[in-house]
Amino acid sequence: MPAITEPVRSAPPHRRILWLTAAVAVLLAAVLLSLTVGSRTVPFGEAVSALLHGGDTANAVVVRELRLPRTVVGLAVGAALGLAGAVMQGITRNPIAEPGILGVSQGAAAGVVFAISVLGVGSLAGYVWFGFAGAAIAAVLVYLLAGTGRGGATPVKLALAGSAMTAFIASLISTVLTTDAATMDQFRFWHVGSLAGRTSDVAWQLLPFLLVGTVLVFAVARGLDALALGDDTAKGLGARTGTTRAVGALGATVLTGSAVAAAGPIAFVGLAVPHAARALVGTDHRWVLTLSALLGPALLLLADTLGRVVFPPSEVPAGVMTALVGVPVLVALVRRKKVVAA
């Protein structure tokens, strides 16, 4: 889909503050539901007491040991995917760009497959590092491939190089999985995309990457506003388009790589959330990024909570639930006459 340029527009200040406040309220509600709702419903008072005072009751153990780490991971993963999606749509000026456009998701999957099949890693905490390393390597290769030739790493070349790398890595993964049943058995539980079983160790490993990635993407927010006007106009305004794209891509890679490594591929959060943010607060990336960092975890936690209760006592993985939500959004984008990425 061709890139569309549009001047940066912002909603009135009072409207932006209103939507920001509403997003915070929705996120707090999502956290509360994540801690209290599931196969075992925990009263609000007991959940708060367990968080503040501990305790050894069954409900207190469920909240502290199972649901709190799961919720923290959901907050970090949702924020990372929302931010990464907004940045990728901005640097490529592609309205259907999402965090996996640079081959990052498939790179993380390749790192997990390598960890399982070659090194025998069997824990989620162990997957994180290899998944992140695979994502980083894939993103670097895509950027180097897109940067060759005339014009450097343009939006179209980045998208094409990312698609090619994704297809190549997917074929390698399929080759390994079809010849190694043991790896396939372990990999499929990660690949479905879920917050279930995520421990405090995974949460602590994820948070530093989230912090670094967030700093990087907010550092290029103004540069993304300039890119939305087109490369020639941005350069005329003094923007360093190459630096903006490189730093933005690095931030998106750090965010996506860590999120996918920790929770598996979570579909549509990085696609749908930035569009919702722009519809609410305009195209100023400082506001879009802020709202995406709030709406992303809210959507993921609500999807995860819904997945716990639709078919009790079984759970529907969060990655499946977010896809069910995201498909109507994608259809709506296709049906629109004009779609603006930034």
What pLDDT does 4 receive?
A: 44
Contacts of 94 (CB under 8 A, 6+ apart): 1, 3, 88, 101, 155, 159, 341
- pLDDT confidence band for 2 (50 / 70 / 90): very low
Per-residue confidence at 93, pLDDT binned at 50, 70, 90? confident
Amino acid at 154: T
> Rounded mean pLDDT of 208-212?
91
Q: What's the whole-number mean pLDDT along residues 103-112?
A: 87
Question: In terms of Cα–Cα distance, which of 249, 224, 262 is closest to 141?
Answer: 249
Distance CA(36)–CA(21), nearest Å, equals 23
Q: Which of 98-102, 179-183, 330-334 has the weakest average pLDDT?
A: 330-334
pLDDT at 1 (0 to 100) = 43
Query: Which pLDDT belongs to residue 333?
Result: 60
pLDDT of residue 69 exceeding 80, the answer is: yes
323 close to 301: Cβ distance less than 8 angstroms: no
Amino acid in the structure at residue 158? L
- The encoded tokens of residue 232 equal 């020639």
Return the higher-pLDDT residue of 51 and 78: 78
The whole-chain average pLDDT of the chain stands at: 84
User: If you average pLDDT over residues 85-100, what whole number do you get?
Assistant: 84
Per-residue pLDDT band for 342 (boundaries 50, 70, 90) equals low
Tokens 């993921």: give the residue.
300
Kindly state the percentage of the chain with pLDDT values over 70: 91
pLDDT value at 198 more than 50: yes
Give the angle subtended at the CA of 218 by the CAs of 12 and 125, to the nearest 5°: 125
Q: Which residue has the higher pLDDT, 103 or 70?
A: 70
On the question of a cis peptide bond just before residue 208, with omega within 30 degrees of 0, the verdict is no
CATH 3.30.1330.60 at 13-99+183-335, yes or no? no
More confident residue, 156 or 335: 156
pLDDT at 325 over 80: no
pTM over 0.85: yes
For residue 271, the number of C-alpha atoms closer than 13 Å in the C-beta half-sphere is 23
Q: Residue ranges of the alpha helices (H) in 54-120? A: 58-61, 68-92, 104-117
- The confidence band for 31, taking pLDDT boundaries of 50, 70 and 90, is very high
Domain ranges of the chain: 13-99+183-335
Write the pLDDT tens digit of every residue in 224-272.
888 877 777 777 766 777 788 889 988 998 998 889 888 888 888 998 8
pLDDT by residue (tens digit) across 276-293? 899 899 889 999 999 999
For a pLDDT cut of 90, what percent of the chain falls above it? Answer: 27
pLDDT band of 3, cuts 50, 70, 90? very low
Beta-carbon contacts of residue 289 (< 8 Å; ≥ 6 apart): 83, 86, 87, 217, 218, 221
CB contact burial 42-79 (16+ within 10 A = b; e otherwise): beeebbebbeeeeeeeebbebbbebbbbbbbbbbbbbb
Q: Looking at residue 99, what DSSP letter applies? A: G
Q: What CA–CA distance (Å, rounded) separates 164 from 103?
A: 8
- Are 284 and 8 spatial neighbours (Cβ–Cβ below 8 Å)? yes
pLDDT of res. 225? 83
